[in-house]
Chains A and B, each alone.
Chain A
Amino acid sequence: MSDSLRRTVFHDLHVELGAKMVPFAGYDMPVQYPMGVMAEHLHTRAQAGLFDVSHMGQVTLHGPDVALALERLVPVALAELKDGRQRYAMFTDAAGGILDDLMVANRGDHLFVVVNAACKADDIAHMRANLPGITVTEHSGRALLALQGPGAEGALATLIPAVADMRFMDVATHAWDGADLWISRSGYTGEDGFEISVPHSHAVEFARALLALEAVAPIGLGARDSLRLEAGLCLYGHDIDITTTPVEAALNWAIQKSRRTDGARAGGFPGADVILPQLTDGALRRRVGLLPETRAPMREGTALFADTTAADPVGHVTSGAFGPTLQAPMSMGYVPESLCTPGTRLYGEVRGKRMPVVVAALPFRPAQFKR
């Protein structure tokens, strides 16, 4: 079975570093290194963690009015996205559900898009089918690294000093050892940091140069998951999918005014007739943070009840784990609008017992972005 798994260019390096490898989105990926998930999480919060995210899809879009063209597939404003800036977006379907979430960067004469590994084939087909006149190019010859944490800037700047001038969501191309690195000041841990696209020819050498720095440690998917959950960020296929709309997922912040009702370029994306009214009137349910009041983590699938005796659940947990920085269990899930006020007490059924859990504001840990 593992024979059919794809490998990133860093596979041998992961094994050399002692990683425990697991199947993830069709790839054989490091879930943790010898340091362990808890220590890797805390290291990223205190110093700098290096993540292999090469399984994700890297795509460029070229063509006339490419930003306006891509706006036909996302409820996000891209026409006013400035050269050298990046924005979070999501592909929607006709029912307002989320097909995938993605990052879109304006790189002057084209857009650079990063999509999730499990969705990338569908995303590319979706763009090719629905963006006539736009050339959609997958860059499968490039690896992607994320360097995250308060020590990320200092570490990366020892190799590429110019990154110190980048602000949150800036994108730029910088040379390293003769290779063009596509760098964004972003990530998915709630920490300051960078995502760095590097050609395969230079990828391992570049990763080794970062790992040689004292602040930098390799971090696996286990800690990536607990970091993003503490940061209140959605994981596609868990917290968001085709059954959740951006409004239900509490992603309203990602839908700019110009795309909303009465905006300059209102609507015009799949599911607008569902999503735009929800932005005004609210949805029936919403994604919330959940803090269990006992030590037992409430994991994905845990049913949520309004009280200890109710027969039917009011919602369910979509992600749940122990938060190493919080030093407490934490979850996210969907509940009716009437129950989503922070402080509302609900009950999660864990192994047949109803355990108290309180609705909490997200993120669990405030973001440390360098704006």
Chain B
Amino acid sequence: MKYTEDHEWLRLEGDLVVVGITEHAAEQLGDVVFVELPELETQVAKGDEVCVIESVKAASDILAPLDGEVVEVNDNLSATPSLVNEDPAGDAWFFKLKIDDLSVLDEFMTEDEYKDFIA
């Protein structure tokens, strides 16, 4: 698992990158009440707004951590947005990206580095 400074986690699954938000981010957001997922086959560039998470407090964006194509989205989040609070690092993944060069994942923080980052 790798981590971004925007509090996303990235997990390699075959040649796809699965993207979610960290427990720390989910706690900061508070109760999540709505998730707007990207459309399939969307080409995204690093830094694009891909998803919107609405908590009781406010709307927040999930940014694309990498250039790539959205090939799968987690429809469970549309029906049960509270999954983001219940299992942020597991069942509440948001989307899967197909990217050209998996080696760019090395740029991101390890779990220990992320823990230091939020400490």
Residues of A at the B interface (CB closer than 8 Å) are: 31-32, 36-38, 222, 226, 295-297, 299, 321-322, 324, 329, 351
Contact = CB atoms under 8 A, between A and B. Distances in A.
B56 interface: yes
Given A38-B56, A351-B52, A296 B36 contact: yes
B34 to A, nearest CB: 5
B30 A37 contact: yes
What band does the interface of chain B fall in when counting residues whose beta carbon is under 8 Å from A?
10 to 19
Nearest to B31: A38
Contacts of B81: 295
Contacts of B59: 297, 299
Contacts of A32: 30
B54 interface: yes
Nearest to B27: A36
A37 B31 CA distance: 7
B56 A322 contact: yes
Contacts of A322: 33-34, 54, 56
A9 B58 CA distance: 29
Interface of B: 30-31, 33-34, 36, 52, 54, 56-59, 78, 81
Contacts of B54: 296-297, 322
A37 B55 CA distance: 10
A226 B56 contact: yes
A38 B30 CA distance: 9
B31 A297 contact: no
A225 to B, nearest CB: 9
A37 B36 contact: no
Nearest to B28: A20
A288 B54 CA distance: 23
Contacts of A38: 30-31, 56
B30 to A, nearest CB: 6
28 contacts: A31-B57, A32-B30, A36-B30, A36-B31, A37-B30, A37-B56, A37-B57, A38-B30, A38-B31, A222-B30, A222-B56, A222-B57, A295-B34, A295-B78, A295-B81, A296-B34, A296-B36, A296-B52, A297-B34, A297-B59, A299-B58, A299-B59, A321-B56, A322-B34, A322-B54, A322-B56, A324-B56, A351-B36
